[in-house]
Structure 1
Amino acid sequence: MDFNAESTVLFRRVNGSLKQIIKIDLSGEVPEKDNLELILNIRDTVSKFDLRDQDLKIGGQPSYYIEVPEIIEDVSAAAVLVHGGSKTEKELLLKKRRRWEVHLQTFTHTDFGYTDLPSNIPGEYEKFLKEVIDYCDETKDFDELSRFRWNTESGSWLELAIKSISDAELNKFVDLAREGRIELQPFYEPHVSEYYDEEILIRSLYFAFDFARKNNLKIETAVATDVPGLPWLLPQILNRSGIKYLTTASNTYMAKPLDIERPFYWEYLDGSRVLLYEADRRFQYQEGPMLGFSSNYIEALKKLPVYLLDLEKDSSSFKYDLLSLRAPGTLGDNTPPNISMSYIAKEWNNKWEYPKIVVSTFTKYFKKFEEKYGRDLKNFRASWPNW
């Protein structure tokens, strides 16, 4: 019988020591009556594992999982699989993995008329805002990483959401924004087109900035979603408005995105620039739901480690350990907020040391990323039509 072992991105703390999860796959089945043991020699340290007696269950997947001390560099390991009266010996390569920190940005993508009549959308947004306030209150005693947070994405969402709420609800919304639980983004619509001229681009910031000034709030990150191109003037307008960061999610049905390592600095002719992070083109702006975070902990555990390992195996587009995932409440546009993400993050972080899951805002992520990796990023000075 053949077998294989692969180091995973999962780590947990056991009696103060960091342990890494190794996944064991067999090429065939071993009768239940037979013993099934793995003997592993890593740098002359020999450990024996009874694979029948492992309590690790990773998303119900049909594999065996063992714990070893963290693999701090790629290492060869001599392995012996004992099954029944037979032995299979093999030399394995166990690879070092990143200590991931994954930031989930909860939001809804504003797209009038796409999912319902435009006349019905404002009432939905008001309901969503009230749910956001309730979810922030429900999770106020959660740990800092898993407390519910919300990103408005667009000024139009904010304008419609607050249109008919009570003064008490509006005051609560503003208080949460000041605490960093809710973050404002400036574009009136997230569909920022390369056909917009300077006047349209500048005026598209008016509503959010006016609301921010009246309520003593900061706006530091802009969001563009579901568009096939962006105007080159954007870095100048954003930078001169005090905005350092831009997150994008391209419409890959309309145009093919450029094959560029992300994130990067995008610079205009006058030297104005923003730090730009593009969502994974495979998921566009649906990363959170596609990776199980709108469902439950088990679904996230099935999907996230596989995805992160895929990023490690092909690091051409993302080579860092600090990741941003857009997380609408469900798949689609104009979706409601989903408190499940906070409960998933709480359960996850209680069980795993890494990856860490952070229910986050865009600026919270950007600031941490720029401080850690900003000096290593590439700078692009060019127009970017049709991605």
Structure 2
Amino acid sequence: MAKVYKKTSGNESIALYLGKRDFVDHVESVDIVDGVIKVDPAELEGRKVWVYLACAFRYGSDDLDVIGLSFRKDIWVKRIQIYPVVGTNPANTPMQEALLKKCGDQGHPFTFTIDTNLPCSVGLQPAPEDAGKSCGVDYEVKAYIAKEADDPDEKISKKDTCRLIIRKIQFAPGKVGAGPKADISKNFMMSDKPVHLEASIEKELYFHGDPIPVHVKINNETTKVVKKIKITVEQTTEVLLYQSDKYSKTVLTEEFAEEIKGESTLEKTFTVIPLLSNNKEKRGLAVDGRLKDEDTNLASTTIIRPGMDKGMQGIMVSYKIKVNLLVSSGGLLGGLTASDVGVEVPLVLMSPKPADVPVE
């Protein structure tokens, strides 16, 4: 085990231990969340120790009060009583055995199973002036001391709690299909022949930060001139919290000065790399869920099982590559009478699955 994540309550009566903070959604199943709570019974004063795992849509920062400045909606919550122990626990995982060695006799294991229809951790990038705020879907493991698991009339002091934010993430599948292709033929006024445009990518999925070769074929059968080629990558985000709210952000725009005269052709590959580092100022851009101030990526494409309830996803993300030709009529008015020919192909952006870290 490379690292142990630990949070202790303000009164030091309980401590939360996790061996990792990234839990993988394999589409058909999700990694179990297995950890340990260390409990010092001396300070409990007859109360119990609980742990919950919650998936929530959040807006605002944790230090804001609840007068409309901060918003949180729990999408899914599970609770377990840790102390006193009730019932029988499942067999300890290798991760829990390793954590129990660090906790000693006061350690109590817990295990959560995350539903497969829940969203992955994803955030919406705040504006620069809102840098302290968070907006998006996150997962929280929280241990707390209370008389009851969830009594709205019981006030739980912050010193009786400890919590860690975790991530539910998807990695690229092992098998990747062939890349998509799109084409169009467009006719213009005063011309009986079209401009034909075809765009394709080699495979359907690319990793964050990898170059994406976009193959472009142009057959200009007209007397017009193609002045340049513009390639954009567009992120579409659907926020499904209450009602579907769909919007798009351009995460890359590149123009290539390729002139294709009338009755000529071009076949060429152009390489683009959409990066979050080039989009730091764009408010509302979807990014992969982050822990503290760690660097992250543009949000990965949302992969869902057939028949899965989209409404449970919270935020869904997809991408497309758009290829546009600026076609000019030529002559004195060529620039004023230019028009576009365009196609778009879907793009899947994800992170590669890392090597497994052994548990010691």
Q: Same fold, TM exceeding 0.5?
A: no
* Interval of TM-score (by shorter of Structure 1 and Structure 2): under 0.3
TM-score (norm 1): 0.25
Larger strand fraction of residues: 2
